[in-house]
Structure 1
Amino acid sequence: MKLNSAVAAALLAPGNVVALLRFPCAQLVIDRIDPLVNPGQAPSPHLHQIVGGNSLNVTMDPAKDMPGESTCTSCQFSEDFSNYWTATLYFKAKNGTYKRVPQLPNSGFNGVNGGMTVYYMQDGLYNFQQTSKVTAFKPGFRMYIGDVNARTKEQAERYRQLTFTCLQTINTRDPQTLDFPDKPCPAGIMTAVRFPTCWDGKNLDSPNHMDHMAYPEFGTFESGGPCPASHPVRVPQLFYEVIWDTRQFNNPADWPDDGSQPFVWSFGDGTGYANHGDYLFGWQGDALQRAMDSPCYQNCPTLKSQNAAAMNKCTIKPKVNEDIDSWVKTLPGGHVANYVKKRWE
């Protein structure tokens, strides 16, 4: 999200310890693997778009040294060898075939090859004070947020702030919805994935990759609510923005005749309620903690950066060889669109 100059000046005023990192990550790979939820499985059940360090593999043993094994990262900060990923988005045509929706770089990041924008913050994005003390994630840490099986608003509401924005321009940020936009979006669709900010302080992971994390006791991240006693350690607010270039699919004549929307996640969800994201921590040394303890506003003098060409150059070959660019009759893995609110075939 783009903050105006007055807000930026307030953030950087003397006395504020501001830590708000906003940076691009180019596409590392689009592949049907999921080393967090389905380790060792190739192909995994559905297709993902993945960014970050090139040590990514099918298994991702948490005992391994991700920064030490990576030789490059597709993210701006060259000390960040973490991996970040979401499902991919598809368009379903009236004849029942599917086409993968490409990704666009975010506002201010021209020249970056698709991917996503990643945020690390002391506080939520709309809290311009950014003064909370946070503890950086530890080596081996990993987490997941969302529910791949959610198909109703009530199911989606269990997870705070996993949203969609119908972009009027590249800088549009509101309104945000829990389900897919129901009309063509002039500048694309942005998905937002915000992770919980309270850690139990003990476990680097949990069986469902979520129970070691919790939300504040009340409100959203911007409210500054306290962490629950079960999860007392406040960690950075991790937040993804992914911009899907839906402009080529905006002809109303290509949309369903019954008024429903035609986009579907790669695992078949046509409601949007199953929006989710995965994270494997891989920052080098104490780089992330240094950044969170420093007056960093988007760029950070304590971190090493690389340009778009270097980010774009860091790619790996897919582990699963399948066609992800043509029109296809079924989604990768054999999934078909599942629309609960309004069905169309």
Structure 2
Amino acid sequence: MKWLSVLALAGSSQAALRFGCSTLTIQRLDPVVEPGNTPSSHLHQIVGGNAFQANMTGDVGEQGTCTTCTFSEDFSNYWTAVMFFKHSNGSYKRVPIMQNTALPNGINGGMTVYYTQKDFNSNGNNKITAFKPGFRMIVGNPTTSTLDNAKKNIGLRFVCLAEKATRFPELPDFPTKACKGGIMTVHHFPSCWDGKNLDSPDHQSHMYATTKEAFQDAGPCPASHPVRVAQVAYETLWDTTQFDKMWPADGSNPFVLSYGDNKGYGTHADYLFGWKGDSLQRAMDSSCMFNACENGRPLKSQAVAAMNKCTVKKMVNEDIDGWLPALPGHHM
């Protein structure tokens, strides 16, 4: 990200958070879309607080005792579908995630999470309202099946990494060649809320996206969704390089998301709010930027070792490592 222009505004603008979260668990659980199902339909890569389980209700910020995220008051959960490599012999192997260069060294796997004021790159002076206990949302849809529809999901993109710092071009589908530095998935969530509903039947309609491509400011919120909340975004870096020498001879893409999508059109992510007390609101009302928000200015933070130590028990007993004959939850 070209953050220099943002940093120039730091003195006068409100907070922007960028922080890492190590892996909490990798399981077939989805308390937003499939609450109570053990297992859910497909495998997820999950970070955040240890209150995570198949069914989550109440104030999650008061339920967690540890978190894999930098900010120790953030018991939210953040998750995406898992990426797999499909071998020419038909077997699958899970692609591990790796930390972003902007994060401290030693994070176990790692996802980069952003809470910004407008869009992914810009900070502003809007009043940002923190999410309320019980809030949740998703972005993207695993049933998206055409390139045209994938292109319309602005803010859901892939980047073929030459190195970890690569950010362009953003692609609506999987790269068509081996990527020297791996593949990054990017998920921007909507930042306009109806101000009433903590969720909705489709987990999306209580929110409205005014996101624009790349580094343009998001548009104003409509009257139907008048409350500006933080622009939540994830960057997940997949270490695909170990599979470079196994790339199919015909040049076809060998990667597939855990629900069976080998195009990437249906890339999606889930968010379940769990900041403790008023910590997120205090951050959004402050003028701190990134790691300047740590160490009590205004947010409590923790070292990488504490992030990596936090985990949850395995609630779905199935093999997700090694070469698998089928994707977890899918029959051969």
Question: Taking structure 1 as the reference length, what is the TM-score of the superposition?
Answer: 0.91
Is 1:160 matched with 2:160?
Answer: no
Q: 1:69 Cα shift?
A: 1.5
2: CA distance between counterparts of 1:67 and 1:198? 22
* Contact 1:2/1:171 (8 A) holds in 2: no
- Provide the residue aligned with 2:70 in structure 1: 76
Partners in 1 of 2:220 and 2:177 — Cα distance? 38
The CA distance in 2 between the partners of 1:81 and 1:2, in whole Å, is: 29
**Corresponding residue of 1:214:** 208
Over aligned residue pairs, what C-alpha RMSD do you find?
1.5
Task: Name the CA shift for 1:89/1:146 in 2 (closer, same or farther; >3 Å).
Answer: same
Note if 1:98 corresponds to 2:96: no
CA contact (8 A) 2:3 2:121 kept: no
Structure 2, gaps ≥5 residues long = none
- C-alpha distance in 1, partners of 2:266/2:13? 36
> How many pairs align?
326
Which whole-Å CA distance do the structure 2 matches of 1:159 and 1:73 have between them?
30
For the residue of structure 1 that corresponds to 2:177, the secondary structure is: coil
User: Which of 284, 297, 304 lines up with 2:300 in the alignment?
Assistant: 304
1:63-118: CA deviations, max 9, x gaps? x2212211100100001000110010000011111000001011132210013110
1:144 aligned residue (133, 138, 146): 138
- How far apart are residue 229 of structure 1 and its match? 1.2
Amino acid paired to 2:113 = V
CA distance in 2, matches of 1:124, 1:290: 20
TM-score, with length taken from structure 2: 0.95
Give me the whole-angstrom Cα distance separating, in 1, the residues matched to 2:331 and 2:141: 17
- For 1:111, the equivalent position in structure 2 comes to 106
Partner of 2:120: 125
User: What secondary structure sits across from 1:41 in the alignment?
Assistant: coil
Aligned: 1:24 with 2:16? no
Alignment of 1:197-276 (within 5 A): 197-216=191-210, 219=212, 222-251=216-245, 254-276=246-268
- Among 165, 168, 171, which residue is 1:171 paired with? 165
- The percentage of counterpart residues that share the same residue type is 57
Native 8 Å contact 1:52 1:83 kept in 2: yes
State the secondary structure of the residue aligned to 2:269: strand
1:3 paired with 2:17, answer no
Contact 1:49–1:115, Cα closer than 8 Å, also in 2:
no
Does structure 2 retain, via aligned residues, the 8 Å contact 1:79–1:287?
A: yes
Match of 1:340 in 2: none
Instruction: Determine if contact 1:268/1:335 at 8 Å carries over to the other structure.
Output: no
Structure 1 residue 335, shift from structure 2 partner: 5.6
Cα offset for 1:222?
A: 3.2
The one-letter code matched in structure 1 to 2:252 is S
- Closer, same or farther in 2 for the Cα pair 1:9/1:164, shift >3 Å? closer
Offset from partner CA, 1:255-278 (integer Å, 9 cap, x none): 223321100001100001111000
Does the Cα contact within 8 Å between 1:267 and 1:335 map onto a contact in 2?
A: no
Specify the SS of the correspondent of 1:29.
strand
**Paired residue type of 1:294:** S
1:9 deviates by 4.6
- One-letter amino acid of the structure 2 residue matched with residue 122 of structure 1: Q
Rounded to whole Å, the distance in 2 between the matches of 1:320 and 1:179 is: 30
Partners of 2:151 and 2:101 in 1: how far apart?
28
Find the partner of 1:281 among 273, 283, 294: 273
> CA 1:41–1:9 in 2, change beyond 3 Å: closer, same or farther?
closer
Residues 302, 146 of structure 1: CA spacing in aligned structure 2 closer, same or farther, 3 A cutoff? same
Cα distance in structure 2, aligned partners of 1:245 and 1:9: 29
Distance 1:157 1:8 in 2: 27
Matched letter for residue 117 of structure 2? Q
Note the alpha carbon deviations across 1:230-257, whole angstroms, 9 max, x for none.
1111110000000000010112xx2223
What residue number does 1:48 align with?
44
Aligned to 2:190: 196
Query: C-alpha separation between the residues in 1 aligned to 2:152 and 2:159?
Result: 19
Shift of 1:2: 5.9
Deviation, 1:142, is: 0.3
User: One-letter code of the match for 1:22?
Assistant: R
**For 1:333 and 1:9, how far apart are their aligned partners in 2?**
45
What does the per-residue CA deviation read over 1:182-209, in whole Å, with 9 as the maximum and x for residues that have no partner?
Answer: 1111111000000011111110000010
